[in-house]
Amino acid sequence: MTRLPSIPEVVVFGSLNMDLVVRVPRAPDAGETLQAYGFTTNPGGKGANQAVACARQGARVCMVGCVGRDDFGAALRATLAADGIDVRHIGTVGEASGIAVIMVDDAAQNRIAVIPGANALLGPHDADAVLELTTARLLLLQCEVPMAAIVRAAAIVHESGGNVVLNPAPVCPLPDALWPFVDVLVVNETEAATLASMTVNDVGSAHEAALALRMRGPAIAIVTLGSDGVIVADQQGCRHFAALRVQAIDTTAAGDTFIGALCAAYVAGESIDPAVARGIQAAALCVTRPGAQISIPKREELAELPQVGAPTLL
């Protein structure tokens, strides 16, 4: 008897990429050739990474996206299925699967160039797949697929009474039509600076940006600051969570891991502060490992880490 997929709690509408990862001592200067010392191919894409992070933290997840009719596409689909993710709504198109070329240096910082490929063909008609999934409690969005499709998916879930979480990465102008549908906005400092039209380089400026972004419509605005922690702004005010101190070796997928773990905790009934704390733990463990999806931890692994301290009111 064929086992039907469980009804999802989280629908991730977004990108799937194969990551081509090069380890380098430092980023090369213009016109310079450096000797690299490692190369791997890892399943990635912000949408797929966040789906994996949700699933490994115990949520039931469905992925909606597009891959090509190629080996990368087959591998991307199989990897998600291996994590228990419902892949029935991942379409296959004639365009090549998306890829990302990633340089990771000795300081664990990454530089990424993305070739969208099949992801660019995800359209508003694909968002209609979300109509079959409106029993899910949460829709998770990024900006690696066309904006028209993002707005359509957000509108469907908003109108059905579900929660919409948006991670506007890579950062781009967001249409006015999208903001009213967003319940939770999660940005890093670069994205916050662009969307709030201000400099964001410390806790104080991130606080101001979070307040400004919340005024655009989201009930909750979250700004991640890497080793400087996380800012949360909601109706209870604004507060700062300190990061856990770890030895980072690769920051690839850290943001995706934070968001996925946060969303898994949220649909499990946690309030936003415990959900943020779980996201911080998961991201801290992620950066101690190389790669994208292969670095994303499972929920039981977080027991190895110290608890996140209580936030400081700002």
Query: Quick one: pLDDT at residue 188?
Result: 97
pLDDT at 304: 84
Question: CATH number for the domain including 214?
Answer: 3.40.1190.20
CB 184 within 8 A of CB 220: yes
Q: For the whole prediction, is pTM greater than 0.75?
A: yes
Measured over the CA atoms of residue 102, residue 288, residue 139 and residue 79, the dihedral's sign is positive
> Is the Cβ–Cβ distance between 198 and 205 less than 8 Å?
yes
Binned at pLDDT 50, 70 and 90, residue 243 comes out as very high
> Is residue 43 domain-resident?
yes
Residue 19 in domain? yes
Give the bridge partners for 115, in sequence order. Answer: 99
Catalytic residue among 19, 106, 256, 273: 256
pLDDT of residue 244: 96
- pLDDT tens-digit profile of 10-37? 999 999 999 999 999 998 899 999 999 8
Distance CA 43, CA 26 (A): 23
Structural domain for 256, as ranges: 10-27+36-313
Average confidence (pLDDT) over 235-259: 93
User: Which pLDDT belongs to residue 2?
Assistant: 39
In a domain, 2, yes or no: no
In-domain check, residue 245: yes
For residue 1, tell me if it sits in a domain.
no
Q: Is 250 in the active site?
A: no
**Number of domains the chain is built from:** 1
The answer as to whether 4 is a domain residue is no
How does pLDDT run across 151-199, given as a tens digit for each residue?
999 999 999 999 999 999 999 999 999 999 999 999 999 999 999 999 9
Per-residue pLDDT reduced to its tens digit, 296-310: 999 999 998 999 999
CA–CA gap between residue 189 and residue 22 (Å, rounded): 25
- Phi-psi region at 76: left, alpha or beta (left = phi > 0; alpha = psi -120 to 50): alpha
pLDDT at 131 over 90: no
5 within domain boundaries: no
Q: What is the DSSP string of 150-164?
A: HHHHHHHHHHHT-EE
